[in-house]
Amino acid sequence: MTDFSKGVAYIEGEYVAIAEAKIPLMDWGFLHSDATYDVAHTWKGRFFRVDEYIDRFQTSMAKLRMSVPYGHEQIREVMFELVRLTGLRDTYVEIVCTRGIPAPGSRDPRDCSNRFLAFAVPFVWIADDEKRETGLNLLISRQQRIPPESVDPTIKNYHWLDMVMALFEAYDHGADTAILVDARGDLTEGPGFNIFARHGDTVTSPEHGVLHGVTRLTLLELLERENLQINRGRLPADAARAADEVFITSTAGGVMPVTRIDGKPVGEGRPGTLVHKLNDAYWALHEDPDYSVAISY
């Protein structure tokens, strides 16, 4: 029996070990980054908000004029089967649609047959245990995020070169990660995460030019329970630097504190009480049947 504990992929209707998973060289998903994807996760053997992730994936495909012969329930079944085959309780599950391969010499995307694939691997953290406890050092990059007028960021995509260059800039300055700005210098998003900043009783999260993350949505819902004012709007760089607390959210890590921006302390220079409370509440939802679904192994 094949050992899928390091990961398993679903390609061309078959389940294969992750090391054997391949797509054709001529697929525009590779050649042109013409693809969309989404990432869900399981924790302690339960899928978290899996239907929201599938819904967003299907919306992204529709916006890109893509379609695959898999409906919501079929995609869901593939995702559950991937996790079951790994035998893992904590996993990172990605679903992907690529444009596919056109007729030879064609530049017409209508000639392509869109391709669906998916995979599950052990859970991925974007910050290690120490950073999640003590806080991240975040660089506000000079790199401008691809404007939403060019590429709609609510369609999850692989256009990451702006983020990759921002990461190099962050590492050059001894930071852990980076946040990108828009043309006005307002904060947008970072490599795989959204950002929040608290000023007194008001918490701001950028709304324009960002992916509307499912983890971000969950935090907005939790913040409403705290009777805090929520501002879904602009977050100028100087406002983030002057915040009482800053934290980022991602499927790959939940809620993570930022304690330094551009090398300087945020607030008191240590994680605040709000971020710890939100993090505990976020992970508690993973056992709530209104938010999660158990997997039958």
104-145 pLDDT, tens digit each? 999 999 999 999 999 999 999 999 999 999 999 999 999 999
| Chain-centroid distance, C-alpha 107 | 30
What residue ranges do the domains of the chain occupy? 8-122, 129-286
Domain 129-286: top CATH class: alpha beta
Is there a contact between 162 and 144 (Cβ–Cβ < 8 Å)? yes
Instruction: Indicate if the pLDDT at residue 74 is higher than 90.
Output: yes
Amino acid at 171: Y
* CA pair distance 156, 119, nearest whole angstrom: 16
Express each pLDDT in 173-225 by its tens digit. Answer: 999 999 999 999 999 999 999 999 999 999 999 999 999 999 999 999 999 99
Residue 82 has a CB neighbour count (10 Å cut-off) of 26
Amino acid at 160: W
Q: Write down the pLDDT at residue 267.
A: 94
Domain 8-122: top CATH class: alpha beta
Amino acid at 188: T
Instruction: Indicate if the pLDDT at residue 1 is higher than 80.
Output: no
8-122 and 129-286 share one CATH topology?
no
Express each pLDDT in 240-293 by its tens digit. Answer: 999 999 999 999 999 999 999 999 999 999 999 999 999 999 999 999 999 999
Query: Which run of H or of E encompasses 3?
Result: none
* CA pair distance 257, 6, nearest whole angstrom: 29
Q: What is the bridge-based pairing of β-strands 115-122 and 91-98?
A: antiparallel
Local confidence band at 2 (pLDDT 50, 70, 90 cut-offs): confident
* CA pair distance 95, 209, nearest whole angstrom: 23
Express each pLDDT in 16-40 by its tens digit. Answer: 999 999 999 999 999 999 999 999 9
Of 148, 154, 251, 157, nearest to 212 by C-alpha is: 154
Enumerate helices (H) and strands (E) in the chain, giving the number of each.
8, 15
Instruction: Indicate if the pLDDT at residue 57 is higher than 80.
Output: yes
| Chain-centroid distance, C-alpha 156 | 8
Instruction: Indicate if the pLDDT at residue 11 is higher than 90.
Output: yes
Query: Which run of H or of E encompasses 219?
Result: helix 214-225
Query: Which residue has 């983890």 as its token pair?
Result: 215
CA dist list (Å): 37 to 53, 57, 133, 230, 261: 10, 6, 30, 29, 30
| Chain-centroid distance, C-alpha 138 | 17
Q: Is 2 exposed, middle or buried (0-12, 13-18, 19+ CB in 10 A)?
A: exposed
